[in-house]
Structure formats: structure tokens, C-alpha cells
Amino acid sequence: MKTIPLSAKPSQTLSVLLGGQNCQIRVYQKTTGVYLDLYVNNAAVVTGVIARDRVLIVRQSYLGFVGDLSFFDTQGTDDPTYDGLGSRYQLVYLEASDLS
């Protein structure tokens, strides 16, 4: 597992190397929750996925992403809000070996 550094901001984009993949991650708050877009080499893998505590984001291996992402509430089981990103709510990359 690898923690992806986020800030407590309502919208942010970052580039990170995950499992040898050049990833661009966009995390943003809407009135209905926090959402995530994931791109690998600037090609969309998943977009507009709502963030839920301990729920896998990519889920489908046919999308071509090696591993998966998930948010974890370090103080309970609430779904993330932007003001706790990077502290209470951690975004983690799970390697393929973590998922089996």
C-alpha cells in the first residue's frame, strides 16, 4: 500500500507514479461528495467516481489499471470530505498483490 499525498482543498490534481504507471489524479468536491478522476498517460481510466470509505475505485481489471485506489477514514467509517483530505481521509494505492 502507498499513501497518495492530498491536501485539504476542494479541488486538486496531482501526478504520481503508481505500479510503474504515470498517473494523473484529480480529486474534487461537489455538493454530493468527493469525486475522483484517474488518468494513465493522460488517457482516462475512470472519471467521476464518487469516493466512499474503503470502497475500491477502479474495480475492473479490464480497464488496464494495475492495482486499485481507495479512500480510508482514519477516524471511523465516514465517506471523505475535502476538508479532511490528507489527514483524516487518506487516498491509498493498493498493489495487485494487496488485492488478492
Cell of 54: 474503503
Q: Residue 23 contacts by C-beta under 8 Å, 6 or more apart in sequence?
A: 15, 16, 17, 38, 39, 40
> Per-residue pLDDT tens for 66-83?
999 999 999 999 999 999
> Per-residue pLDDT tens for 4-54?
999 999 999 999 999 999 999 999 999 999 999 999 999 999 999 999 999
Helix (H) / strand (E) element for 17: namely strand 11-18
List the beta bridge partners of residue 30: 33
- Give the model's pLDDT for residue 12: 98
Residue 100 has pLDDT above 70, yes or no: no
Instruction: Place 62 in a pLDDT band, splitting at 50, 70 and 90.
Output: confident
**Rounded Cα distance, 1 and 34, in Å:** 21
Q: Which amino acid is at 28?
A: Y
**CA 68 remoteness from chain centre:** 8
